[in-house]
Amino acid sequence: MSRLRVHAFSISVDGYGAGSRQNRENPLGVGGMGLHEWMLPTRSFQRLYGDGAGETGVDDDFVARSFENIGAWILGRNMFGPVRGPWPDDHWKGWWGANPPYHVPVFVLTHHLRSPIVMEGGTVFHFVTGGIEGALHLATAAAGDRDVRLGGGVATIRQYIRAQLVDEMHFAIAPTLLGSGEHLFAEIDLPALGYQCAEHVAGARAAHIVIRREATD
């Protein structure tokens, strides 16, 4: 049975998953890029975007785990791009160029219809107007016997947590303070929703926390 998983999602020590004043030049908000510095030197990241000669160790292990057994992704519209409102045209095709790192179907939450986009490497962006449960239904069907990865952003993850639809979450706590922005856990009672801390490991550049939802009958 497919599970819905969050992986390698970076947050600051004070709980923010993105900084304030997000725009096309600062898609993660002011200071937001600092959340992801732990990932950049890893071998798994360098295999995607560099020469493949990155570092191994705990941080790399968690990046590698994030791609294991993933058959589909779900993204909030902000994670796909900065365009707001009705799609003005088909020009914007994501932040990642012609060959995005997904290589499986990706379901983008939106309020506005748009035709699917076929990219290089097996990535196909589907635009879903049926809400979070509709997107999960489509992604689960596309994933088959593999899992679905929830890529974010913060608002999207919060919606799925509140609906108790996320089975497992890995957060990398970066050694930085943002002070403002999008707070991941504000007014969310994780234990009341059935979530418990299952793993905690110190990496070279981030602390890694895995949270799982307890199975219920």
Alpha helices in the chain, H assignment, sequence order: 43-49, 58-65, 77-80, 131-143, 154-162
Q: What is the pLDDT of residue 131?
A: 97
In order of start, what are the domains of the chain with their CATH numbers? 4-83+100-213 (3.40.430.10)
Mean pLDDT of 101-114: 96
Each residue's pLDDT tens digit, 53-69: 899 999 999 999 999 99
Quick check: 197 and 190 in contact, CB under 8 A? no
Confidence of residue 216 (pLDDT cuts 50, 70, 90): low
Q: Which DSSP helix (H) or strand (E) runs through 10? A: strand 4-12
Q: What is the mean pLDDT of the chain?
A: 94
Q: What is the pLDDT of residue 24?
A: 76
- pTM (2 d.p.): 0.93
Each residue's pLDDT tens digit, 11-29: 999 999 999 887 777 778 8
Rounded Cα distance, 141 and 8, in Å: 24
Bridge partners of 168, per DSSP, are 5, 212
Rounded Cα distance, 193 and 14, in Å: 22
